[in-house]
Amino acid sequence: MSTEGLVPLAAGREAEVFARPDGYVVKLMWSADFAPRVHREANALRILAGMGHVAPRLEGLVEIDGRPGLVIERVEGVDLLTLLMRRPWLFLRAAAPMAHVHAAMHEVVAPAALPGLESELRERIENAAALPVHLAGHALEVLDTLPQGDRLCHGDLHPGNMLGTWAAPVAIDWVNASRGHPAADVARTDLLVRLGDTPTKMSAGVRAMIAAGRRLLARRYLSIYRRSSPTDLTRLADWRVVRAAARFAEGIESEHEALADVIDRHRRRTRRR
């Protein structure tokens, strides 16, 4: 099997996506080294089969020229981040679909084949070279006090990973799926919406509008999620610290100052208690 006859749709750091003539898409990893991530995503999609409002349907696994991949139902439309970049005044519109999809997946007990989120977060913090030692130590201390969980967590849910229409988008890119506490997953989304890196090629006015819209979106998303899910979010601020520390492992230098501030403010508040 080869890529002949497949139509390129998109390309990223780990994979490229092609359209098949039969209406499915092929997500093909750049390297065989990413095979574990393919199986990770497949395990998440299998457990979500029948929940079409949460994730696209998995058709099967493939290997093309030594590159592992997945065959997935094609979802028409663009991602919500693209829609928001075109019309940043509509930021609040993304809150409800994102919260509802997140709440729905957190009702699902994750398959045992998925890795534990808490142990992964610990490993990322311990191996984040750019994270100051005192902040890493604080984040690990906080992590030790947090509860573990067994729910399906996406690991990277944000508007850029929501594909389709405003009325019925689905979550894509499940390569970070894990088994853990839903609040940890919510904290990751909240952090990305508030602090995630944004394109620099835009006017100062548009950037200011986007920054304000992101804060409003984060608050609205959390409000709707709380009404949609029984998940206990009383330790959300603690999970946010752990997530901020783990984010350093991804090497996005433009975010480091803001992430360090999240951790350090929590550390100073804790010391004053």
By the 10 Å C-beta count (0-12 exposed, 13-18 middle, 19+ buried), 35 is classed as: middle
Q: Say how many domains are in the chain.
A: 2
Name the most confidently modeled range: 46-60, 78-92, 195-209.
46-60
Calpha distance 262→188 (Å, rounded): 13
- Does residue 170 fall inside a structural domain? yes
Same domain, residue pair 44 and 23: yes
Same domain, residue pair 54 and 91: no
Same domain, residue pair 226 and 252: yes
Over residues 129-142, mean pLDDT: 97
Nearest to 188 by CA among 127, 244, 249, 142: 244
Over residues 100-110, mean pLDDT: 96
User: Could you tell me the residue range of the domain that residue 116 belongs to?
Assistant: 78-272
Same domain, residue pair 210 and 262: yes
Same domain, residue pair 95 and 197: yes
pLDDT: is 7 or 130 the higher one? 130
Same domain, residue pair 255 and 150: yes
By the 10 Å C-beta count (0-12 exposed, 13-18 middle, 19+ buried), 105 is classed as: buried
Is 1 a residue whose pLDDT tops 70?
A: no
Same domain, residue pair 175 and 111: yes
- Does residue 197 fall inside a structural domain? yes
Q: How confident is the model at residue 215 (pLDDT cuts 50, 70, 90)?
A: confident
- Does residue 1 fall inside a structural domain? no
- Give residues with Cβ within 8 angstroms of 102, minimum separation 6: 154, 157, 185, 186, 189, 225, 229
Same domain, residue pair 118 and 47: no
Same domain, residue pair 149 and 219: yes
Residue 102's domain is classified under what CATH number?
3.90.1200.10
Nearest to 152 by CA among 44, 232, 239: 44
Give the single-character DSSP code of 21: T
Same domain, residue pair 260 and 215: yes
Model's pTM, two decimal places? 0.91
Neighbours of 42 (CB within 10 A): 20
Residue 43's domain is classified under what CATH number?
3.30.200.20
Name the most confidently modeled range: 65-79, 82-96, 119-133.
119-133
Same domain, residue pair 127 and 222: yes
Kindly tell me the sign of the dihedral angle through the C-alpha atoms of 28, 32, 33, 39: positive
End of a domain among 20, 43, 73?
Answer: 73
- Does residue 205 fall inside a structural domain? yes
Is 107 a residue whose pLDDT tops 90?
A: yes
Same domain, residue pair 231 and 155: yes
Task: Please spell the DSSP secondary structure of 98-153, one letter per residue.
Answer: HHHHHHHHTTSBPPTTSPBHHHHHHHHHHT-TTS-HHHHHHHHHHHHTSPP--EEE
- Does residue 99 fall inside a structural domain? yes
